[in-house]
Amino acid sequence: MDIIRIIFAVLLPPLGVFLQVGFGLQFWLNILLTLCGYIPGIIHAMWIIARR
């Protein structure tokens, strides 16, 4: 399942975070980071997926 989350994290970072943690603070933070720049959103999503 982590492979699928990583693929989603690269294509659509908030979706990867949502699959990992749901509608929590990390999800909304990732949306904000993705809106500020696509790369920060990807980095944050990878960090969330790798941490859990």
Task: Show the 3-state SS of the chain.
Answer: CHHHHHHHHHHCHHHHHHHHHCCCHHHHHHHHHHHHCHHHHHHHHHHHHHHC
- Name the band, by pLDDT with cuts 50, 70 and 90, for residue 52: confident
Range of the domain at 8: 2-51
Domain count for the chain, please give it. 1
pTM, entire model: 0.91
Under 8 Å between Cβ of 40 and 34: yes
pLDDT band at 2 (very low <50, low <70, confident <90, very high): confident
